[in-house]
Chain A
Amino acid sequence: MVASTSTVATLELLRWIPLIPLCACAINIFFGRALGHRTAGVLASAAVGVSLALALYVFWLLPATGIFHDLLYTWIESGSFRVNLSFQVDALTAIMLLVVTGIGFLIHIYSLGYMAHDDGKVRFFIYLNLFIFFMLLLVMGDNLLLLFVGWEGVGLCSYLLVGFWYHDAKNTIAGNKAFIVNRIGDLGFILGIFLLVTELGRQGIWTLDFAELPKHVSLLTPATITLITLLLFVGAVGKSAQIPLFVWLPDAMAGPTPVSALIHAATMVTAGVYMTARLHFLFAPAPYTLSIIAIIGAATAFFAATVAIAQNDIKKVLAYSTVSQLGYMFLAVGIGAFSAAIFHLFTHAFFKACLFLGSGSVIHALDGEQDMRKMGGLRSYLPKTYWTYVIATLAIAGVPLTAGFFSKDLILWQAFSHGSYALWLVGVVTAGLTAFYMFRQLFMVFHGSSRVEDHVKPHIHESPAVMTVPLIVLAIGSIFTGWLGAPEYLWGSLWDRWVQPVFGGAHGAEHGPVTTEILVTLVTVAIVAIGIYLAYARYARTGTRVVPAEAAAGLYRVLLNSYWIDEFYDRIAVRPFTRVSQWLAQIFDPLVIDGLVNGVAKVARGFSLIWREAQTGNVQHYLIGFLAATLALLIYYLRQL
């Protein structure tokens, strides 16, 4: 339905958008040290800048319902099954391109300042460029397998960057956790792709191309589609940190702050949303899956927002807030409002990147301090950071006429007009919570009396221009990107006209009576206002009462420990698995006992013992095992006869 209405044109330019960061990455791998820290960083940033310029150019060229396509070569071909290495850009990809290269470019620039004193700067930029490459592959690939390559690649880069400051063992563990939790999600994702390939293959269709797949969806039974989409969604749950696999994202904050901004807020974690939108033709005819997505999205949005209220680490608040905002996006996906989901993804990228980079600026100024209880009153020291932070906070809280207002309101209105009042209610309450915890953070960090530790105080300084300029650009985006998708009663949505054709016009903005729409918006605005007021009353006027974790009690403690989900997983999943592996190693393989524990000593006893060793030791065991297996096979055969 989509392919038939759109025109496909070849544009060989496309390949350079991902390849240029890859080239810069390769140059830095081989010559990075020779070039020196500074040049390597500038080169990496410039490469993403060029990609951004190309992306803007492609965006400019792209007609409303057109698709640009660029085939490099056939990657894998077996029989009638062909997977090309080829890129495509339609309206959806074009938006993702702008987010990845645009935000990516700003964060590269910011990193020049933020990482200026870090020894591993070259390594940092190598990983960062590699990440951009894989992310671009993910959004530009014209088939599911390329998307998967990008999907795995960004996961790897994320892992390398989370563990970047490996001196602290905690960071390495966080990196591992991110990777392993993501593998659980990937398992679902791979199985989903598998099932799709198998089921279509059974009908004689071998393809994974986004252009081809929609034509064959009708061959699948509803049950199959439901199962496939559920499995694919498991992948999205892992990547986009939804319940129950969200646990890795707060820990992933161990990485350098620009990484949190780029990977764990603006781009990689949104890949799950992108994937569902890209495969909307599979998800749309799976109502059961959609309702599960909506419920998980809403539950995650609410749950993460409650946890965010109790956090004292400046980045942890933002991490849970990201989880919560991703929940909104999935809520939108779940009610079939793909366009609204991508719109929120787009605006969120700006204000969340701005918040993260702002928090980075604060952390930078305070010599690495992340505890909000040791901040306060920073407004006068960091004016530029403060003002950009205020704007981004307004945006995420959904204060009218900011970007977050428009995109969140669109989702809530879609939920309401879709008839999902429960989802809408959860969304509205979450909006209030969001306003509360974000303003709580703003007040704790920038207002009130200073609680900064004395030895840090003399060094507080505003960040250099290389860091504040990206902040200002993002702050501007945090306001105006939302204006693209204004409701009809204001000046109408440019966004819908641009993105809607990708989703085949299905589930377009559902227009109810304008008065209802305005009323619904006013309810949200009122709740947001209450949230802001409560935060103001509690945190702005006096200094914050510091609540140490061990003294905290009741609900607060539950929230602070994010409902002890981590501990729960450790009990039910991690420990039993470790035990099984150890048990197997001991039972199945006597070598582990003999060979490893005693082995070193035995070898030391020297050559003369070996013959005896071989006669009375392991080899006999091996031969018995060998013989037993052979006999088992023989018996099996004889019974067959």
Chain B
Amino acid sequence: MDASLIPLLPGAQVLLTALVVMLLDLFIDEHERGLLAWISLLGLALCGAEAILLWGSSEGTFGDTLLLDNFALFFTQIFIAVAALTVLSSMRYVRETGIHEGEFYSLILFATTGMIVMAAANDLMVFFLGLETMSVAVYVLTGMWRSSARSSEAAMKYFLMGAFATGFLLYGIALIYGATGSTNLNQISAYLLEPQGQWPPYLFVGGLLLLVGFGFKVGAVPFHFWIPDVYEGAPTPVTGFMAVAVKAAAFAAWARILMHELSPLDSDWALPLRVLAIATMTIGNLLAISQPSVKRMLAYSSIAHAGYLLIGIVAGEEWGSTSLLFYLATYAPATFGAFAVITLLTEQDKPKEDYGHFAGLGFKRPFVAMAMSLFMLSLAGFPPLAGFTGKFHIFRSAIIAGHTDLAIIGVLNSLLSVIYYLRVIVMMYMNEGGVKGKSFIESPYLYTAVGLAAAATIYLGVLPMRTLEWSRSAFSSLF
């Protein structure tokens, strides 16, 4: 057994920070709680630095149940970046809404720890541990705005649905364990590669239940029902966190477990996955069109994007996986940024999320509106922004893998999506009224978060090669 603890470092760093924040919360005064945000950011920055230093390592620990490779590190960077942006954009928001700061930040950090474990898990049980660490923290975060009925309702729904999905997942793990005699991914993979007569039928059922569980977590149609309600009800920075980091974590585990280690089963779920991908893209986009609330529209948009990501899963192999990772990186800043802009519109604990509330934003806050336009255009796949390069690679991987039809449906869908993304821009630049200028949440940190997300959206579109290289080397580290 390898005794090295280095692979634990990034996760432990965030966990430690979470504990410090939680404990310190007890000892400091109400008005000094802003400090907690800075401690959280510091911890995340340290973790980020460690992840950069560890890049290229490939080391397992605890009997290879945790594997710190480039794949894990790539996702760790995404989680940390999103967590840091979430903290930045919440600093004023939590005060306005009366959310308890110490708990809020530490829960964000706990959830991040869970995600890091998920991305690095090389064992189904450890993966499950990470998943639950993340999920429980996010259930609580969803309901943290206690004075808002909507928030509590969302948390309750999320919890009920999540528990249901967890059951499927756990049962799937149990069946796979029963069939293969192990929960360790390497050993499961070795079992599957062994030439033998027949696999027990319940192995497939196990794989299927795992697929259902992942389908729920990423919000694939028809397991998506919870997303609009929960995303709409949750405090907006938490929604951004969920739409990006939680989704990325689920895809990370999906990519490692289903695409890679269980790949001998590929041929059995090729067709359902194709159906899932098509349904997710199409239903997500069609329903997004008729939403009156931008926040809810973005929830459906995140479903649609899960559909594009599923194309990467279907395409599989080197290109599919690389483009999946890259797409997640390009999707992250635009989606998070859009939710951050909605956060900005929260006025004295009253959410302002309808299209109408965006009216005239282009004249009241030209830079915020410009950033929002960038986010919308990027999500619509408009060149030369991040979303374009992301989609380009996803669709190309589908073509290479012989799924030209999926690529074409993807293109059709992204053309469709323009309708509702554009509406936001129309509202901001071609209408007047909306929210009064002085009632925005004026926080330099929130503006920083929006600015960083906008910069990343342009950067990943104009200069995508470095990140693409990282995605590729993250994928290759799986072998």
Contacts and interface: CB of A to CB of B under 8 A. Distances in A.
Contact of A201 (B161, B370, B399): B399
Contacts of B382: 152, 156
A610 B156 contact: yes
A491 interface: no
A637 B268 contact: yes
A81 B396 contact: yes
Contacts of A42: none
A388 B121 CA distance: 75
Interface string B383-409: 110001100110110011000100110
A413 to B, nearest CB: 40
B403 to A, nearest CB: 11
A493 to B, nearest CB: 38
A614 B156 contact: yes
A73 B290 CA distance: 41
Interface in A134-165: 145, 148-149, 152-153, 156, 160, 163
A641 B431 CA distance: 59
Given A75-B464, A585-B290, A634-B205, A198 B168 contact: no
B415 A619 contact: no
Contacts of B168: 630
B211 interface: yes
B201 interface: yes
A614 B160 contact: yes
B468 interface: yes
B21 to A, nearest CB: 28
B225 interface: yes
A542 interface: no
Given A76-B465, A153-B383, A603 B150 contact: yes
A179 interface: yes
A134 to B, nearest CB: 10
B152 interface: yes
A625 B225 contact: yes
Interface string A624-640: 01101110011011101
A628 B221 CA distance: 12
B394 to A, nearest CB: 11
Given A603-B153, A626-B223, A29 B290 contact: no
A591 interface: yes
B287 interface: yes
B427 to A, nearest CB: 10
Among A76, A148, A163: residue with most chain B CB under 10 A: A76
Given A78-B319, A592-B290, A603 B149 contact: yes
B444 interface: no
Interface in B341-358: none
A148 B388 CA distance: 11
B228 A595 contact: yes
Contact of A588 (B229, B283, B426): B283
A613 interface: yes
A618 B430 contact: no
Nearest to B282: A584
A159 B212 CA distance: 42
B287 A589 contact: yes
Given A603-B153, A619-B160, A77 B212 contact: no
Contacts of B415: 183, 186-187, 190
Considering residues A81, A176, A606, A622, which has the most beta carbons from chain B within 10 angstroms of its beta carbon? A622
Contact of A190 (B222, B370, B411, B463): B411
B286 interface: yes
B422 interface: yes
Nearest to B469: A77
A584 B288 CA distance: 11
B383 A637 contact: no
Given A175-B430, A179-B418, A585-B287, A78 B396 contact: yes
A213 to B, nearest CB: 17
Nearest to B399: A198
A149 B229 contact: no
A638 B202 CA distance: 10
A78 B209 CA distance: 34
B429 interface: yes
B412 interface: yes
A604 to B, nearest CB: 8
Nearest to A607: B149
B226 interface: yes
Nearest to B393: A78
Contacts, number: 165
B222 A637 contact: no
B292 interface: yes
Interface residues of B, number: 68
Nearest to A586: B290
B208 interface: yes
B178 interface: no
A380 interface: no
A591 B319 contact: no
A623 B164 contact: yes
A637 B204 contact: yes
Given A187-B415, A614-B160, A633-B212, A622 B226 contact: yes
B157 interface: yes
B152 A633 contact: no
A581 B370 contact: no
Contacts of B384: 75, 149
A183 B418 contact: yes
A611 to B, nearest CB: 7
A142 to B, nearest CB: 15
Given A176-B422, A622-B226, A606 B149 contact: yes
A216 to B, nearest CB: 17
A641 B400 CA distance: 29
Given A163-B426, A630-B212, A187 B412 contact: yes
B383 A618 contact: no
A29 B430 contact: no
Contacts of A194: 395, 399, 404, 407-408, 411
Given A78-B319, A198-B399, A621-B225, A180 B419 contact: yes
Given A74-B465, A163-B430, A172-B430, A191 B287 contact: no
Contacts of B226: 622
Contacts of A582: 290
Of the listed residues B322, B389, B400, the one surrounded by the most CB atoms of chain A closer than 10 A to its CB is B400
Most chain B beta-carbon contacts within 10 A, residue among A194, A198, A606, A633 = A633
Contact of B429 (A73, A166, A186, A611): A166
B74 interface: no
A155 to B, nearest CB: 9
Interface in B183-236: 201, 204-205, 208-209, 211-212, 216, 222-223, 225-226, 228-229
Contacts of A634: 205, 208
B181 interface: no
A636 B223 CA distance: 17
A179 B422 contact: yes
Given A163-B429, A584-B287, 12 more contacts: A76-B468, A171-B430, A187-B415, A585-B290, A595-B228, A606-B149, A610-B152, A619-B160, A633-B212, A636-B272, A637-B205, A640-B268
Interface of B: 149-150, 152-153, 156-157, 160-161, 164-165, 168, 201, 204-205, 208-209, 211-212, 216, 222-223, 225-226, 228-229, 268, 271-272, 283, 286-287, 289-290, 292, 319, 322, 366, 370, 377, 382-384, 388-389, 392-393, 395-396, 399-400, 404, 407-408, 411-412, 415, 418-419, 422, 426, 429-431, 462-465, 468
30 contacts: A75-B462, A75-B465, A76-B389, A76-B468, A78-B319, A78-B322, A149-B383, A156-B382, A172-B430, A172-B431, A175-B430, A179-B418, A187-B415, A191-B408, A194-B407, A194-B411, A197-B396, A580-B286, A582-B290, A591-B225, A592-B287, A595-B229, A611-B156, A614-B156, A618-B229, A623-B161, A625-B222, A625-B225, A626-B161, A630-B168
Counting from the closest, the 10 A-B pairs by CB-CB distance are A166-B430, A622-B225, A149-B383, A629-B222, A585-B290, A172-B430, A610-B153, A614-B156, A163-B430, A603-B149
